[in-house]
């Protein structure tokens, strides 16, 4: 069943139920009003008749019907049909009356053990409303009026309500259909737009955003999703294009060297070793590039699992690893800091910052590393950063003019930025006073950040 059908049926059923409940309540109100008027009339008539007969005694009741006078009704009033019942259950009828009313409970009212009451009864084929009340200590009066007119009126009202209910249900179904069409029209447009975009693959198209209700918010969210998807596809295509370009050079160089060795069997051994060594260098560069591409792709897809991590310990391990790989001297100032991070991923980002500083540091110049309040600062004493390179420093495959002769793929700093954004932080670079550059990796500090090294928990093993 479609959403439109469900909405139409739901709206129609809701309106129909409301109409039927309203008609049912109106019917019982009218019925109660009509029968209430009959009850009031019977009570008033019984009171008037009891007063007019002068509270008949048992001896007078024995002389009924010829000696008891019945008061005439007021102008326009109904006389009703009456009878008297003694405490012993004897029934006395007024003059010219031959039909007896049901006297159940009347003797109890006459003796005072029962209260006055109303009841419905059918006598001689006529539906009656009977009121029984006490006249004196030994006598009760029963007075009845037919409910024929009221029953006929209620029957007509029921038929009218039934016909009107059928018309109302049909109208409710029509209203539900119109409401569902009007409500789902924006959804249909959004669906058509989504199907068209899926069929054409054109992510530059957008849907209507002019509405201010929930469907308008859905359209805005849909367009936002299209923007993110378009950026992701564009970045993916750019990554593939850049990767293919970067991989082509070392692959072509290694292939050329190996083909040269294969074609010239008479090359001196020293020359062959040199060519093979160059091919191995190119293959290592290509392997490193592929690893960084995989790291970037993994960061785009998978959200790392975070845990409470000692940033100072993680930086200390990265500095120790970098010191083993190069003769560069590191000067550290590591203060205890707790962050929510993925140790493996964050350690890789810190290592990339250190490798970049080592690459640009001149011989004998130290690399200064500071950790404080969720911030890792790495400063080198190299040539610094050119103003033209600063805006593009963390772009994928971007390499400054001075770095194109050095080993590297241009992905290390891009990985650092990706890791920082994944952890809700930032990474920045700026020239340092007195020469060199400063890279700052800022991460949100955990609420339970330790103030002293002895109070901080140990770093979970990566």
Question: Can you give the residue ranges of every domain in the chain?
Answer: 3-153, 214-300, 304-455
Token pair for residue 147? 């409910």
In sequence order, the β-bridge partners of residue 338 are 310
d(CA 80, CA 363): 127
- pLDDT tier at 376 (50, 70, 90 boundaries)? very high
CA angle 123, 129, 133 (to 5 degrees): 110
pLDDT tens for 399-452 read 665 555 565 556 778 888 888 888 889 999 998 888 889 999 999 987 766 444
The CATH-assigned architecture of domain 3-153 is: 2-Layer Sandwich (3.30)
> What Cα–Cα distance (Å) separates residue 450 from each residue in 241, 312, 437?
46, 11, 29
* Per-residue confidence (pLDDT) for residue 232, from 0 to 100: 75
SS3 content of the chain, % helix, strand, coil (to 5): 55, 15, 30
> What Cα–Cα distance (Å) separates residue 163 from each residue in 10, 31, 168, 170?
22, 18, 9, 11
Where do the H-state alpha helices sit in 201-310?
214-263, 269-301
Of these ranges, 38-52, 148-162, 166-180, 301-315, the one predicted with the greatest mean pLDDT is: 148-162
- The domain defined by 304-455 carries CATH number 3.40.50.12500: no
pLDDT tens for 142-193 read 889 898 888 899 999 889 888 888 888 888 788 878 877 887 777 788 888 8
In sequence order, the β-bridge partners of residue 117 are 132
Q: Is the pLDDT of residue 204 over 50?
A: yes
Q: Is the pLDDT of residue 287 over 50?
A: yes
* Per-residue confidence (pLDDT) for residue 315, from 0 to 100: 93
Q: Is the pLDDT of residue 459 over 60?
A: no
pLDDT tens for 226-265 read 888 887 777 777 667 666 656 666 777 778 878 877 777 7
DSSP element (H, E) containing 341: strand 338-341
- pLDDT tier at 58 (50, 70, 90 boundaries)? very low
**Environment class of 40 (CB within 10 Å of its CB; exposed 0-12, middle 13-18, buried 19+):** exposed
C-beta separation of 91 from 111 below 8 A? no
C-beta separation of 306 from 340 below 8 A? yes
Token pair for residue 67? 């000696």
pLDDT tens for 85-128 read 888 888 888 777 788 888 888 889 888 898 999 999 998 888 99
* Per-residue confidence (pLDDT) for residue 380, from 0 to 100: 92
Give the N- to C-terminal CA distance of the chain in Å, as an integer: 53
Which of 247-261, 312-326, 380-394 has the lowest average pLDDT? 247-261
Q: Which fold has domain 214-300?
A: Helix Hairpins (1.10.287)
Own/partner pairs for 294-298, CB < 8 Å, 24+ apart?
Answer: 295/348, 295/411, 295/415, 296/239, 296/396, 296/411, 296/414, 296/415, 296/418, 297/239
Find, among 355, 353, 360, the residue nearest to 405 by Cα. Answer: 360
- pLDDT tier at 53 (50, 70, 90 boundaries)? low
d(CA 93, CA 64): 7
Q: Is the pLDDT of residue 348 over 60?
A: yes
Q: Is the pLDDT of residue 196 over 90?
A: no
- Shared fold status for 3-153 and 304-455: no
- Ranges assigned E (strand) in 353-436: 367-372, 375-380, 426-431
If one compares 298 and 147, the residue with the highest pLDDT of the two is: 147
Residues in the chain: 462
Q: In what order do the strands lie in the sheet with 117-123?
A: 91-92, 81-86, 139-146, 126-136, 117-123
Residues 6+ apart with CB under 8 A from 185: none
DSSP element (H, E) containing 443: none
Helix axes 3-52 and 148-200, enclosed angle (nearest 10) = 170
Q: Is the pLDDT of residue 135 over 70?
A: yes
Which of 25-39, 256-270, 370-384, 399-413 has the lowest average pLDDT? 399-413
Average pLDDT over the chain reads 79
């Amino acid at each position: 069943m479609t959403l439109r059908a469900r909405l139409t049926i739901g709206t129609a059923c809701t309106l129909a139920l409301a109409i039927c409940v309203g008609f049912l309540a109106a019917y019982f109100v009218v019925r109660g009003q009509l029968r209430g008027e009959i009850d009031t009339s019977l009570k008033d008539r019984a009171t008037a008749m009891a007063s007019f007969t002068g509270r008949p005694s048992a001896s007078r009741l024995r002389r009924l019907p010829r000696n008891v006078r019945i008061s005439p009704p007021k102008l326009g009033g109904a006389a009703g049909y009456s009878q008297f019942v003694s405490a012993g259950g004897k029934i006395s009828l007024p003059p010219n009356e031959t039909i007896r009313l049901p006297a159940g409970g009347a003797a109890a009212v006459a003796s005072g053990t029962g209260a006055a009451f109303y009841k419905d009864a059918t006598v001689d084929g006529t539906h009656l409303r009977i009121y029984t009340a006490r006249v004196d200590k030994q006598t009760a009066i029963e007075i009845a009026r037919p409910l024929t007119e009221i029953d006929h009126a209620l029957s007509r009202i029921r038929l009218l309500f039934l016909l009107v209910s059928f018309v109302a249900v049909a109208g409710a179904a029509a209203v539900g259909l119109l409401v569902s069409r009007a409500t789902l029209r924006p959804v249909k447009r959004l669906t058509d737009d989504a199907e068209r975009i899926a069929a054409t693959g054109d992510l530059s198209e957008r849907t209507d955003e002019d509405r201010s209700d929930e469907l308008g918010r859905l359209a805005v969210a849909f367009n936002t999703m299209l923007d993110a998807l378009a950026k992701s596809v564009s970045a993916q295509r750019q990554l593939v294009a850049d990767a293919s370009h970067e991989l082509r050079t070392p692959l072509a160089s290694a292939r050329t060297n190996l083909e040269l060795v294969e074609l010239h069997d008479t090359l001196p051994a020293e020359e062959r070793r040199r060519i093979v060594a160059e091919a191995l260098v190119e293959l290592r560069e290509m392997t490193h590039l592929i690893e960084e591409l995989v790291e970037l792709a993994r960061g785009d897809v998978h959200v790392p699992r975070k845990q409470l991590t000692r940033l100072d310990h993680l930086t200390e391990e990265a500095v120790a690893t970098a010191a083993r790989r190069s003769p560069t001297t590191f000067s550290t100032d590591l203060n205890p800091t707790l962050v929510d991070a993925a140790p493996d991923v964050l350690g890789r980002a810190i290592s990339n910052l250190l490798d970049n500083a080592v690459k640009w540091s001149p011989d004998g110049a130290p690399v200064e590393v500071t950790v404080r309040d969720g911030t890792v600062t790495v400063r080198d004493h190299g040539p610094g950063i050119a103003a033209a390179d600063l805006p593009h420093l963390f772009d994928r495959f971007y390499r400054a003019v001075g770095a194109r002769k050095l080993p590297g793929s241009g992905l290390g700093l891009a990985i650092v930025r990706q890791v920082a954004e994944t952890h809700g932080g930032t990474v920045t670079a700026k020239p340092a006073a007195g020469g060199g550059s400063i890279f700052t990796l800022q991460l949100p500090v955990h609420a339970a950040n330790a103030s002293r090294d002895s109070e901080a928990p140990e770093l979970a093993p990566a």
